[in-house]
Amino acid sequence: MRARVLILGAGFGGLELATILSDALGDDADALLIDRSDAFVFGYSKLDVMFGRMTLDAARLRYREISKPGVRFVQETIVEIDPEARRVTTSGGAYEADHLVIALGADYDFEGTPGLIEGGNEFYSEEGARRLSEIIPTFSEGQIVIGVVDAPYKCPPAPSECALLMHDYLSARGVRDACQITYVLPLGTPVPPSPETSAALLEAFEERGITFVPSRRVQELDPGRSHAALDDGQELPFDLFLGVPKHRAPDVVIASGMTENGYVPVDSATLQTRYPGVYAVGDVATAGVPKAGVFAEGAARVVAQNVIAEIQGGERAGRHLGQGTCYIEFGGGRVGSVDIDFLSGPTHTGVYHAPSADLVADKANFGSIRRARWFAA
């Protein structure tokens, strides 16, 4: 009998894993990819959607287009995971696996910040970004607060990009002088592993008159008074609040008993959980790397190689190195990047590359290469 691989979640990690298994094993693979959604959206496309550079419909890459030997996709919601039995129950049935990979990402805990939804907006979900694409064009004066309510959160540079793109958007509409932008972050600098990247972002904020409030959390919003309460007692008035909500593993993962402190602990070298034959990759896991698609992919590559080695023999993967490049929108069509390395050496490093035409092209290729690899045969 062929070894059954069950991949829970078709995001960065799940899609990369399914692709590698199919490429290596072809019809000999027996992989089932399960996701509750009918489409994948790159995280950074949400910024494009909120600022009207792309419609949500155009950003959605439909799973029905997946065409890969040895891989079957089903659109079902996972309602129970039994990691000991490697058995999963969904809205459509029950499945057992020889290799079970949890790639369910991080969910948002909107209720964890009182007033966030009643009084503000968030731009981290598809629906939140779409809603903002209707609100932002009507905003022409007042205080904008971009607030990250807690860490860890996905893609550490994304809220900085939001502030810079907001500056551009308001400038293009001729209303920038009537608006103030304040950016509140629980971290001390915009991209802590890379002081150079942080310095470039801080300089960009200063040039554009964006106020940066480091090392502070937004604890709650008072919708009646339109004030954001910070963790040091400060209150910030706002006319438009753009939030990054609290993150945590999906409820179904927490209910499975696999989590500790909100996420699934794994061996950071192999992504193995404490259950034999069960792995966790990407934002759902505590693998010692930031929450970003590139790290989910890197983790998936390690798991894929080890699963392939178990199925057909061959070399096992080296350890997960926690390396990846994150692109950063600086506004004005400029794109910089940072090469992050979290696990290969004794310290975290982040090498900054200033915005350039090459990086604009690299970011476009990043999306088109993955779209082609993950969705076509």
Ligand X SMILES: Cc1cc2nc3c(=O)[nH]c(=O)nc-3n(C[C@H](O)[C@H](O)[C@H](O)COP(=O)(O)OP(=O)(O)OC[C@H]3O[C@@H](n4cnc5c(N)ncnc54)[C@H](O)[C@@H]3O)c2cc1C
Binding site for ligand X (CB under 6 A): 9-14, 34-37, 43-44, 46-47, 77-78, 103-105, 124, 154-155, 158, 250, 252, 282-284, 291-294, 296, 326-327
Which CB atom, from 227 or from 327, has the smaller least distance to ligand X? 327
Task: Please give the Cα distance from 67 to 372 (Å, whole number).
Answer: 11
Which CB atom, from 77 or from 344, has the smaller least distance to ligand X? 77
Which CB atom, from 104 or from 307, has the smaller least distance to ligand X? 104
Which CB atom, from 229 or from 271, has the smaller least distance to ligand X? 271
Least CB distance to ligand X at residue 83 (A): 15
Pairing label, strands 31-35, 71-75? parallel
Which CB atom, from 9 or from 331, has the smaller least distance to ligand X? 9
Residue in the block written with tokens 């779409």: 130
CA atoms within 13 A on the CB side of 207: 10
Least CB distance to ligand X at residue 178 (A): 26
Which CB atom, from 104 or from 221, has the smaller least distance to ligand X? 104
CB atoms within 10 A of CB 57: 9
- CA-nearest of 103, 133, 77, 155 to 326 is 155
Least CB distance to ligand X at residue 150 (A): 14
When CB distances to ligand X are compared, the closest residue is 11
Least CB distance to ligand X at residue 291 (A): 5
Least CB distance to ligand X at residue 36 (A): 4
Least CB distance to ligand X at residue 333 (A): 16
CB atoms within 10 A of CB 196: 14
**For the CA atoms of 226, 209, 126, 256, what is the dihedral angle to 10 degrees?**
-80
CB 371 within 8 A of CB 66: no
- Cβ-Cβ contacts under 8 Å for 231 (sequence gap 6 or more): 216, 217, 219
Which CB atom, from 89 or from 237, has the smaller least distance to ligand X? 89
Least CB distance to ligand X at residue 294 (A): 4
